[in-house]
Amino acid sequence: MGATQRDCAVVIIGAGPCGLTLAIELGRRRIPVIVLEERTSRARFPAANATQARTMEHYRRLGFADEIRAQGLPPDYPTDIAYFDRYTRHELARFRLPSSRTARDIVKTLSGAWSAAELPHRCSQMYVERVLRAHAEAMETVSIRTGWRAMAVRQTADAVAVEAEQIDPVGQDIKPASGAANPGSGQHQILRASYAIGADGGGSPTRKALGYELVGESGIVRDFMGGRMFAMHLRSPDLYRVIPHAPAWQYWAVNRERRAVLISLNGRDEFVVHTQLTPGQQAGQISNAAAIAMFHVVLGAELDVELIARSTWNAGYTLVAEKFQHGRILLAGDAVHLFTPTGGLGYNTAVEDAVNLGWKLAAALKGWAGAGLIDSYECERQAIARRNTGYARKFADSVGLFIPPPELEDDSEAGETARKRAGEHLDAHARFEFNIPGITFGGRYDGSPIIVSDGTLPPPDTVNDYVPTACPGGRAPHLWLEDGRSLYDALGLEFTVLRLGPSPRDATQFAAAAATLGIPLATVHLASEEARDLYEADLALIRPDQIVAWRGDASADAMDVLRRASGHLSCY
């Protein structure tokens, strides 16, 4: 497996949101990549519903946040979360959230916890993936091989070999990566590369082949969101007419017969509904008519609907892999963490894995990474996976362990009291689960070997509040620039040194050290007092993933700082 024989630099197994984002991160750095995806159909079950604000900020950095924000619901459709006993009966609680147009307009006016370049976008993964796929395909150095399955991955000290089989001859090589042979159809091929990434989902054959276990809790039982789930993708032009309440993005049904969550996909006629199977109920034995009858129970009415697709999944996982890396084989996304989808964190955590790994792989391949840079991926992302799966579990407990009282649906005084009490619980729950700047912006890499601590402590990690801080290890605090751009729009592709305040320190030592180490470094001057106050330092070093690597008032130790941040020093 010598350098001359390589088909590409990185083979990515899986073209879900994780694999596609990683391909885009590598493609924009002109790294040759082959993505293997066994699924031939581009249609996918709707799955994830929410792109969190931090993921939207990454999409903005990658250049397509507006394109993503245009997907899904119409621009003026409210993204309310509403709770009912049954959808045609009593509304119990409603958490009002803005439409995508309002979200784009108000972001520039927000401060404090929501001081951000982007707000969340509530839209199905099936639409998001189309955009990710189109951008990955447009990259000159990225080749996506649809209908190709990775069968085995082997490695030596300096290379990997991925055995791939074309399982569906309809799948075609969309564009050969530089140097890669066009595989033709029905083929078996060994792809040689420097790294292989298992972004191959919850069943991850790559993780299993490495022998890494998922550690944590599974099989949690709850009244809802704890057990075997049954999902239906429905088409119904009449559903809005039948539901006598204001439109919402998520409609939760809370009653003692059947619970469910219905999500509007396009604001017109497409929906997904998830309900929980009763113990012993087998999805395979549920006819389409019986499935639709389950929907009628939560609707509280009969209505002709078209069943586009159906699926099953498990709610109640809080699982993180014991290892994310074995030499040149790395794992990311659902391959290494499985969530209960409450909080909408699974896909977002998968995208952030790709963001963290992308620049590190590219740096290693371009020769400016130290030996410890890629190894820092597991240390940084495993801790976040444990944190985020833990938060998702709390949300699932908060909504799923709530037991509706027997009189909830009664048209009586007792029923009204029960609905009021249920509404109070659900209202508080909605604010807990769906207003989460603390989770989305507050993920940190404290203790990472490539973060240079300045001895300060970050604010406590909380769900619903985020205190912007430039304490090294967290997201670079955001601000809007005088010319209307986001600070993030001004950062370089790789590292950036910020010079802060009206009389900034000299940063030439950073530029000189970066040149010596071959590290691409941009310098940005933020002349306002506000910026200096926000960062509480004269200088700050921002990583390619917009994490503060270091802050300080002198650049005398620039060489040490950059060596540490690029993985050349294992301890500082």
Ligand X SMILES: Cc1cc2nc3c(=O)[nH]c(=O)nc-3n(C[C@H](O)[C@H](O)[C@H](O)COP(=O)(O)OP(=O)(O)OC[C@H]3O[C@@H](n4cnc5c(N)ncnc54)[C@H](O)[C@@H]3O)c2cc1C
In the shown chain, the binding pattern of residues 293 to 322 toward ligand X, with x for contact by CB under 6 A and - for none, equals: --------------------x---------
Minimum CB distance to ligand X smaller for 69 or for 274: 274
Nearest-5° angle of CA 489, CA 494, CA 499? Answer: 65
The pattern of x and - marking residues 65 through 104 that bind ligand X according to CB under 6 A reads ----------------------------------------
**Of residues 17 and 316, the one with the C-beta less far from ligand X:** 17
For the beta sheet containing 329-331, the strands, ordered from the edge strand earlier in sequence to the opposite edge, are 142-146, 33-37, 10-13, 195-198, 329-331, 325-326
Residues 103-132 interacting with ligand X (rule: CB under 6 A) = 125
Concatenate the DSSP letters of all residues of 367-394 into one string. T---TTTTTHHHHHHHHHHHHHHHHHHH
For ligand X, how many residues bind (rule: CB under 6 A)? 34
Residue 455 CB, nearest distance to ligand X (Å)?
34
Residue 50 CB, nearest approach to ligand X (Å): 4
Residue 19 interacts with ligand X (CB under 6 A): yes or no: yes
Q: How far is the CB of 161 from ligand X (least distance, A)?
A: 15
Query: Is 150 a binder of ligand X (CB under 6 A)?
Result: yes
Per CB under 6 A, does 37 bind ligand X? yes
Whose Cβ is closer to ligand X: residue 150's or residue 467's? Answer: 150
Residue from the set 1, 30, 39, 283 that interacts with ligand X by CB under 6 A: 39
Among 512, 520, 420, which residue's Cα sits nearest to residue 30?
520
**Which C-beta is closer to ligand X: that of 50 or that of 62?**
50
Residue selected from 87, 347, 441, 550 as contacting ligand X according to rule CB under 6 A = 347
DSSP helix/strand/coil, 143: strand
48 binds ligand X (CB under 6 A): yes
Residues in the chain: 572
User: Residue 125 CB: number of other CB atoms within 10 A?
Assistant: 21
Distance CA 387, CA 69 (A): 27
Tell me: does residue 47 bind ligand X (CB under 6 A).
yes
- Residue 311's Cβ-count burial label (10 Å; 0-12, 13-18, 19+) is middle
Candidate segments 3-11, 74-82, 186-194, 198-206, binder of ligand X by CB under 6 A = 198-206
Q: Taking CB under 6 A as the rule, does residue 231 contact ligand X? A: yes
Specify the residue for token string 């509280």: 300
Element (H, E) at 548: strand 548-552
Among 54, 133, 41, which Cα is nearest to 475's? 54
Q: Which is nearest to 294 in space by CA: 280, 311, 273, 315?
A: 273
Q: How far is the CB of 309 from ligand X (least distance, A)?
A: 12
Rule CB under 6 A: is residue 24 a binding residue for ligand X?
Answer: no
Angle at 392 between CA 388 and CA 394, to 5 degrees: 115
Residue 458 per-residue DSSP state: P
227 touching ligand X, by CB under 6 A: no
| Three-class DSSP category at 358 | helix
Write out the H or E segment, with its range, that includes residue 363.
helix 346-366
- Cβ 30 vs Cβ 177: under 8 Å: no
Q: Is residue 189 a contact residue for ligand X (CB under 6 A)?
A: no
Residue with tokens 């006819």: 287
Please name every residue paired with 536 in a beta bridge, in sequence order, or none if there are none: none
Considering the complex, what minimum distance in angstroms separates the CB of residue 148 from ligand X? Answer: 6
Nearer Cβ to ligand X (224/535): 224
Residue in this structure with the two tokens 């002709």, named with its chain if needed = 304
The single residue among 68, 345, 385, 498 that binds ligand X, judged by CB under 6 A, is 345
| Helix/strand/coil percent split, the chain, to 5 | 35, 20, 45
**By CB under 6 A, is residue 476 in contact with ligand X?**
no
Considering the complex, state which of residue 313 and residue 402 has its C-beta at the smaller distance from ligand X: 313
* Residue closer to ligand X (CB basis): 345 or 541: 345
Query: What's the closest the beta carbon of residue 90 comes to ligand X, in angstroms?
Result: 26
Which one of 91, 200, 409, 433 is in contact with ligand X (CB under 6 A)? 200
Interaction of residue 144 with ligand X, rule CB under 6 A: no
Nearer to ligand X, 340 or 469 (CB): 340
**Which residue's CB is nearer to ligand X, number 14 or number 183?**
14
Nearest CB to ligand X, comparing residues 54 and 551: 54
Distance, CA of 478 to CA of 534 (rounded, Å)? 9
**Distance (Å, rounded) from C-alpha 2 to C-alpha 159?**
8
Taking the C-alpha atoms of residue 255 and residue 300, their distance in angstroms, rounded to an integer, is 11
Span of 33-41, 217-225, 429-437, 453-461 interacting with ligand X by CB under 6 A: 33-41
Q: How far is CA 320 from CA 325, 337, 395, 451, in A?
A: 13, 4, 18, 23
* Cα distance between residue 504 and residue 150, in whole Å: 52
Choose one: 109-117, 197-205, 243-251, 523-531; the region binding ligand X (CB under 6 A).
Answer: 197-205
Q: Least Å distance between CB 95 and ligand X?
A: 15
The residue from 7, 38, 380, 538 that contacts ligand X (CB under 6 A) is 38
Positions touching ligand X (CB under 6 A) are: 13-19, 36-39, 47-50, 125, 149-150, 199-201, 205, 231, 274, 313, 333-334, 341, 344-348, 350
